[in-house]
């Protein structure tokens, strides 16, 4: 158990070093997404803004969206989304996934081989509570003794119990977003050689901007604070 905890901590630190820190986000990419958010907020809160301000904002956004002012790659306006396989960020994401699979598969394979080589057939501990016969195959892997009490646990079974049971320990030591989780190791080993995630189709922000421009052009406007004083007096007149 101590070895598995130390290996998990070492793996977590190696994963941080290999990942190179948080992925960098371009300012133009953030600006591109925030422009849509600003236009959407304008549509949702238009009744609280005076007519002159609404008209100025609508005219500005419609012109900017038509000219592609907020596009990250303005030169590719009207050409549709870029092929995801040609995007360096997508390739980096795929490489990070392969690194995570290797970091999960190699250490656990070595530890399992080490345990099987030195401790196959050994009884390691005895649980302090009785269990039914159905737990025998789970707790006494590698030991062919049908008459042994189920509460005895073999070394190989103890390895698997630690593999799935140390998640809380790793979360306490390394935080919830750690790279030492045994469940992720088993998933990586079971999906080795199979792509776990296909690169998604990137959003066509030029098309999204044109759609937002149409919504802004045809939006119905009514100032929500018209005659607000009279309405308040009417409501609380009693």
Is 118 within the bounds of a domain? Answer: yes
Q: What is the pLDDT of residues 171-207, one digit of tens each?
A: 888 877 777 766 655 555 555 444 444 445 567 888 8
pLDDT (0 to 100) of residue 201: 58
Is 117 within the bounds of a domain? Answer: yes
| pTM for the structure as a whole | 0.47
CA distance 214 to 216: 5
pLDDT (0 to 100) of residue 38: 92
Is 235 within the bounds of a domain? Answer: yes
pLDDT lower than 70: segments of the chain: 19-24, 75-93, 96-97, 99-101, 103-104, 144, 181-202, 238
pLDDT (0 to 100) of residue 35: 92
pLDDT (0 to 100) of residue 196: 43
Q: What is the pLDDT of residues 2-17, one digit of tens each?
A: 888 888 888 888 777 7
Containing 123, the helix (H) or strand (E) segment is strand 123-126
pLDDT (0 to 100) of residue 155: 81
Domain coverage including residue 233: 26-82+202-238
Same domain (yes/no): 157, 232? no
Distance of alpha carbon 30 from the chain centroid: 18
Contact by Cβ (8 Å): 82, 202: yes
Q: How many domains does the chain have?
A: 2
pLDDT (0 to 100) of residue 79: 58
Which of 195, 214, 229 finishes a domain?
195
Same domain (yes/no): 62, 135? no
Same domain (yes/no): 76, 110? no
Q: What is the pLDDT of residues 105-115, one digit of tens each?
A: 777 778 878 87
Cα separations (Å) of 215 from 21, 129, 205?
A: 40, 67, 15
Beta carbons within 8 Å of 151's beta carbon, 6+ residues apart? 126, 127, 128, 129, 130, 131, 139
Is 101 within the bounds of a domain? Answer: no
């Amino acid at each position: 158990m101590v070895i598995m905890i130390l290996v998990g901590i070492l793996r977590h630190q190696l994963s941080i070093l290999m990942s190179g820190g948080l992925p960098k986000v371009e300012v133009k990419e953030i600006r591109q997404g925030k422009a849509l958010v600003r236009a959407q907020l304008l549509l949702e809160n238009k009744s609280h803004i005076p007519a002159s301000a609404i008209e100025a904002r609508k005219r500005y956004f419609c012109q900017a969206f038509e000219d592609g002012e907020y596009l990250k790659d303005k030169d590719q306006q009207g050409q549709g989304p870029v092929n995801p396989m040609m995007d360096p960020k997508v390739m980096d994401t795929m490489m990070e996934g392969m690194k995570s699979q290797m970091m999960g598969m190699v250490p656990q394979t070595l530890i399992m081989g080490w345990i099987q080589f030195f401790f196959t057939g050994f009884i390691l501990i005895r649980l302090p509570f009785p269990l039914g016969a159905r737990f025998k195959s789970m707790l006494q892997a590698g030991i062919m003794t049908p008459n042994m009490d189920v509460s005895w646990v073999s070394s190989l079974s103890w390895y698997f119990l630690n593999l799935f049971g140390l998640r809380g320990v790793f979360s306490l030591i390394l935080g919830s977003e750690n790279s030492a989780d045994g469940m992720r190791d088993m998933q990586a080993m079971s999906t080795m050689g199979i792509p776990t995630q296909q690169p998604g189709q990137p959003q066509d922000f030029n098309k999204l901007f044109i759609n937002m421009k149409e919504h802004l052009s045809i939006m119905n406007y009514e100032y929500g604070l018209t005659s607000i004083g009279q309405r308040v007096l009417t409501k609380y007149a009693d």
